[in-house]
Amino acid sequence: MKDIRIAVIGLGYVGLPLARLFSTKYPTIGFDMNPKRVEKLMKGHDDTLEVNDDLLHDAIANGFRCTTDLEDIKDCNFYVIAVQTPVDCNNRPDLKPLLAASNTIGQVIGKGDIVVYESTVYPGVTEEECLPVVERVSGLKFNEDFFAGYSPERINPGDKEHTVEKIKKVTSGSTPYIADIVDSVYNSVLVNGTHKAPSIKVAEASKIIENSQRDVNIAFMNELAKIFNAMGIDTRDVIEAASSKWNFIKLTPGLVGGHCISVDPCYLIQKAQVYGVLPRVMSAARRLNDGMGDYVANQTIKLMNKKGVMVKDADILILGITFKENCPDIRNTKIIDIYHTLREYTDNITIYDSWADANKVKHEYDICIESGDMQTLRGRYDAVILGVAHDEFKDIDVRSFLKSDNGVVYDVKGVLDRKHIDGRL
Q: How far apart are CA 297 and CA 304, in angstroms?
A: 11
Q: How far apart are CA 54 and CA 48, in angstroms?
A: 14
Residue 385 is classified by DSSP as E
Determine which one of 66, 76, 130, 260 is catalytic: 260
Torsion, Cα of 257, 157, 174, 86 (10° steps): 30
Q: Is the CB of residue 284 less than 8 Å from the CB of residue 219?
A: yes
Amino acid at 237: D
- How far does CA 421 lie from the centroid of its chain? 29
Amino acid at 366: D
Rounded to 5°, the CA angle 47-415-235 comes to 125
Active site residue 260: yes
Question: Per residue, what are the HEC states of 19-62?
Answer: HHHHCCCCCEEEECCCHHHHHHHHCCCCCCCCCCHHHHHHHHHC
**Residue (of 132, 83, 87, 13) closest to 267 by Cα position:** 87
Q: How far apart are CA 383 and CA 297, in angstroms?
A: 11
Q: Is the CB of residue 44 less than 8 Å from the CB of residue 56?
A: yes
Q: Is the CB of residue 373 less than 8 Å from the CB of residue 276?
A: no
Q: Which residues contact 1 (CB under 8 A, 6 or more apart)?
A: 77, 78, 112, 114, 181
Q: Which residues are catalytic?
A: 260
